Structures are given as C-alpha cells and as structure tokens.
Amino acid sequence: MGSQGPQMKVLLALTYYRPHVSGLTIYAQRLAEGLAAGGTQVTVLTSQYARSLPRTESIGGVCVIRLPVAFRFSKGVLMPSLPGMAARLIGGHDVVSIHLPATPPEALALPLLARRSGRPVVATYHCDLRLPPGFLNRLIDTGVRWTNSLSGRSVDRIVAYTEDYVDNVPFFGRYRDKCLIIPPPVAMPVPDPARVAEFRSAHAVDGGPLVGFAARFASEKGVEFMLQSLPKIRETYPHVRVLFAGEYQNVIGECKYWRRLQPVLEAESLHWKFLGVLSSDTMSAFYGACDVTVLPSINQTESFGMVQVESMLCGTPVVASDIPGVRVPVRKTGMGLLVRPADPLSLAEAVCDVIRNRATFIRPRAMIEACYSTQATVSAYRDLFHGLGSKKTSLSGGRKSG
C-alpha cells in the first residue's frame, strides 16, 4: 500500500455531513474539501439522515456516500448497512478517518474493520457527548463514552483541537501518547464594508448595539443564559438586539429545549431575532455588523467554538465561557473576555464591557490568521495521513503540538 502524493485515498466516516450544519460537519467539510483540492481522493461515509438527500453525490470534489437510517435515538442514528459498506470501502483507501463522538457501529466497527484490512485509523475527538436530562439520554451518554473509549484503544492517532481540552477531559487520559494537537480549520471572508453597513441598518434597533450568537439552537450552547442576561444588558443598552445565526427550528434532539424556551423568546422578541442558516459571505457581514459575539456554552460538549475565531477574523471581539478548549482563542489572542458558564450576570457584564471598550479588544486579522487557518489544518492532516499510510502499521509515539 502506501500511496504517495496525489494518489492518497482517505475514507472519512461520521454520523452527519453537510447539508447538516454543526461545528463538526463544517470542520469535516473543510477538511475533506481541503484535502481533495490538494490531490487527495476523499470519500465521506455518512448517514442519509433526511430521505430527501441523495444516496451518493459529489460535493466540493468529495464523494459522499449516505447510508439509510433504520431508526433514531436522540441525536444518534442506526445504519444497519454501515459495517458491510465500510468493509467494502476500506480496502480501497489508504487511511480511515473517524470522527468522535459516534454511535457504536461507527466508533467500534470501523477501527476493527480497518485493522483487519491493515489500514491505519485516525480518530478526531471533537467533543464529549452530554445529552439533555432524561433516563434514555443518560444511557446513551454512558454507551457512547464506553464505545469511544474502546475506539481510542484501536486507533493509531487521536487528533484533538487544543492541549487545554486534552488536559481536562477524561477520555484522553489513557491515550495521551496517541494524541496530536491540530487546531481546527477556520475560514471566513473579509467583510465587505458596504454589506456590513447594510446588514447593520437592517437589523439594529434605533442604532442600538448588535450581539451576535452563531450556533445551533441547543441546550449545551447556553441559549437560556443569553436570554436571561438580556434584562441586565438593557439597563445599559436599552436598544440592544441579539442576532441568532444558525439552525433553530426542529434541531435534531433539541425540540423539547425549543419548546421550553418559547415563553422567554416571545417575551424578548423585540431584542432577539432569528436569522437562520446564513451563507459564508452573509456570515462575514453578520460578524462585521455585530459589536460583540457570544459563545455562552455550558459544558464539554463544546470543545472550541470555531465561530468565535470566525468573529475575530471579521474584527469583532468575543465573550466566551471559561471552559476547557473554548477559552483558548480568547486567551491566545486577547480579543474578548471570558465568563463563568451558566452565569447570566457575568455574561451581561462582559457583553457591556466589550461593547463599551470595543476598540481595546480589536486585533489585526493577520494575527488571527497566523493562529488559525484551514490551510494549516489540512496540511497537518495530510502529513499525518501520509505518514501513517506509508508505514501501514499501528503507531505510538510522543504527543505533538500542531
């Protein structure tokens, strides 16, 4: 085996892929298309989570194969045809890239099938899984942790976003010698000043400040705490408005959370506006128009938050939760403030502080790009895949920083 250069073939497997929108799917798409643009042949094996999606298609030079879903459990799906299809595909690829957290068939079957075929496996550990309260969700959480841990024993390398997350998450404790730190792929066009002005004019209330919130509507994102912070923010900025950019209706696994927050959302309707999923160009106008963006995530389901770096690239500072991984971009760049998670008062005070002293938090775009870029991420993965593919054996070695 051991294909070199443009002949390298990578099988990338994960539960959801585009058009599903989440930090994980955006990460995977940027990685897959970046590798493909450099000459690597990339196949994505994923779920046909919506029946309207084609079973096979090409997206950005990447072959996407979607498997039918037999049934769902919370945010997970079961694809009975996964082991058979994976077994057929693995033999035609040099390296298998899995993305955790994942359901047991993905987390366990893929590494075992790859080993049987003599193919190395790289696991990218995106975050812990912490589902909303409930007996079934607790069982799922426990099962996923168990299978992810077993998967960690079988793979050759484990990619993490930051040293901070690795140092604070139990999953990595047994596998530190396999860990490689590769910052996530972040890309965002330079905002067009005319579009920024137009966006701000369309959404600001009587010239008041705009607070950006780019996320899926999900409990781990801390939506309720941003809502609870609004009355305090209004004491200083009566015409403030939160712009929520991202999926918010019928989000997989979050329908109960959406219904629970409806009374508060209705009460704050003048100061909270849903924008839906925006294109990349529109996102740059969104970030550029905001005075500050927030990332009030509450637990280790959030391991980094690429949206905060996107905001920084557009010249807008951030208020983020002081939790492992998430705090790294603000600490590294100084472009914002950190707050205690699930603390509306601290969140409100920090938002007002950044709005009031915004100029002191601004950093040059070139500085942010020097820390985070899609090109650097793709290059690090390409080197990793080629190194493993050429050796064709399970490796272990010292922990590196990328």
3-class SS string, 213-258: EECCCCHHHCHHHHHHHHHHHHHHCCCCEEEEECCCCCCCCCHHHH
Could you report the per-residue pLDDT of 219-250, keeping only the tens digit for each?
999 999 999 999 999 999 999 999 999 999 98
* Between residues 273 and 397, the one the model is more confident about: 273
Asked if 222 and 305 touch (Cβ cutoff 8 Å), the reply is no
Whether residue 48 is predicted with pLDDT greater than 90 in this model: the reply is yes
Q: Give the DSSP letter of residue 133.
A: S
pLDDT, residue 397, reads 38
Question: Which pLDDT value is given to residue 133?
Answer: 67
Q: What are phi and psi of 340, to 5 degrees?
A: -65, 135
Task: For residues 77-97, give the mean pLDDT.
Answer: 93
pLDDT at residue 372, as a whole number? 95
Structure tokens at 187: 């890309």
Q: What is the mean pLDDT of the chain?
A: 91
Is the model's pLDDT at 12 over the cut of 80?
yes
CA separation for the pair 110, 254 (Å, rounded): 28
| Tokens (6 digits) for 18 | 């585009």
CA atoms within 13 A on the CB side of 27: 29
Distance CA 141, CA 132 (A): 10
| pLDDT at residue 142 is higher than 90 | no
pLDDT at 395: 40
The percent of residues above 70 in pLDDT, for the chain, comes to 91
Residue 72 has pLDDT above 80, yes or no: no
Question: Which class does domain 5-185+373-401 fall in?
Answer: alpha beta
- For domain 193-370, give the CATH number: 3.40.50.2000
Give the residue from 321, 356, 355 showing the smallest Cα distance to 338: 321
Q: How far, in Å, CA of 209 to CA of 358, rounded?
A: 11
Residue 145 has a pLDDT of: 72
Mean pLDDT score, 37-59: 96
* Confidence at residue 396, expressed as pLDDT on a 0 to 100 scale: 36
pLDDT for residue 402 is more than 50: no
Confidence (pTM)? 0.88
Contact indicator for 61, 44 with CB cutoff of 8 Å: no
DSSP character string of 285-347: HHHHH-SEEEE---STT-S--HHHHHHHHTT--EEEE-STTTTHHHHHH--EEEE-TT-HHHH
pLDDT at 51: 92
Give the CA diameter of the chain.
65
Nearest to 156 by CA among 359, 393, 339: 393
pLDDT given for residue 130 in this prediction: 67
Same fold, 5-185+373-401 and 193-370: yes
- Which comes out higher in pLDDT, residue 401 or 322? 322
251 — pLDDT class (breaks 50, 70, 90): confident
Rounded to an integer, the average pLDDT of 20-38 is 94
Confidence class of residue 183 from pLDDT cuts 50, 70 and 90? very high
**Residue scoring higher pLDDT (363 or 399):** 363
Domain borders along the chain are: 5-185+373-401, 193-370
More confident residue, 2 or 67: 67
Q: Give residue 64's identity as a one-letter amino acid code.
A: V
